[in-house]
C-alpha cells in the first residue's frame, strides 16, 4: 500500500548517504591536503547523517527489520506469542506517535534558533524527527493491519 512512500524515503536516504560521503571526502582532502577545514562540511555532515539514519529506521520498520529479542518469545505457544508480538508492536507504535508529537514541538521551538555555521533555522534538521517517525508509524500501522487482518 505504501510502496511509493518507501521508494521516496529510500531515495532520500541514499541521497543523504551519497552527499555525506562526498562532503566527508572533501573535508578529508581539505583538512589533510590543504590544512583547511570548512564549517559547512562538518555541520551539513551531521544533519545528513541524522536524516539518513531516520530514513533507514522508517524503511526497516516497514520491513519489520527492527531489533527484537525472540529467544524467549519463540518458546511461547502460538496464541500467546501472537498476543505478545501484537502488544510489542502497539508499544512501538505508541512510541512513534509520542516521538512525532514531541518532535513537532521541538521543531517549532527550534525554528527561532540558527545553526552556528550555516545560519539555517534549526527547525530544518529537527524536522527529520516528526517526519520520519510519522512515516514509521504509518508503516507500523500498515504492518499491523496486514498481519492481523488474516486472523
Query: What is the rounded average pLDDT for all residues in the chain?
Result: 89
Give the up-direction half-sphere exposure of residue 13: CA atoms within 13 A in the CB hemisphere: 16
Nine cell digits for residue 57: 529506521
Q: Which three cell numbers stand for residue 35?
A: 590544512
The 3-state DSSP class for residue 25 equals helix
DSSP three-state, residue 82: helix
pTM: 0.86
Q: Which residues contact 104 (CB under 8 A, 6 or more apart)?
A: 130
From first to last of the 151 residues of the chain, give the pLDDT tens digit. 788 999 999 999 999 999 999 999 998 998 888 888 777 888 899 999 999 999 999 999 998 887 777 778 888 888 888 888 889 899 999 999 999 999 999 999 988 898 888 888 899 989 999 999 999 999 999 988 888 777 6
SS3 114: strand
How big is the chain, counted in residues?
A: 151
pLDDT in tens, 80-115: 888 888 898 999 999 999 999 999 999 999 888 988
By CB atoms closer than 10 A (0-12, 13-18, 19+), residue 4 is exposed
Amino acid at each position: 500500500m505504501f510502496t511509493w512512500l518507501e521508494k521516496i524515503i529510500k531515495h532520500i536516504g541514499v541521497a543523504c548517504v551519497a552527499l555525506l560521503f562526498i562532503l566527508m571526502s572533501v573535508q578529508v582532502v581539505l583538512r589533510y591536503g590543504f590544512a583547511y577545514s570548512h564549517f559547512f562540511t562538518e555541520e551539513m555532515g551531521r544533519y545528513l547523517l541524522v536524516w539518513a539514519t531516520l530514513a533507514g529506521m522508517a524503511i526497516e520498520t516497514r520491513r519489520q527489520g527492527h531489533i527484537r529479542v525472540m529467544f524467549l518469545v519463540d518458546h511461547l505457544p502460538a496464541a500467546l506469542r501472537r498476543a505478545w508480538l501484537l502488544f510489542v508492536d502497539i508499544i512501538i507504535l505508541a512510541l512513534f506517535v509520542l516521538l512525532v508529537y514531541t518532535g513537532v514541538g521541538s521543531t517549532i521551538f527550534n525554528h527561532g534558533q540558527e545553526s552556528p555555521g550555516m545560519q539555517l533555522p534549526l527547525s530544518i534538521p529537527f524536522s527529520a524527527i516528526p517526519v520520519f517517525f510519522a512515516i514509521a508509524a504509518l508503516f507500523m500501522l500498515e504492518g499491523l493491519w496486514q498481519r492481523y487482518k488474516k486472523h
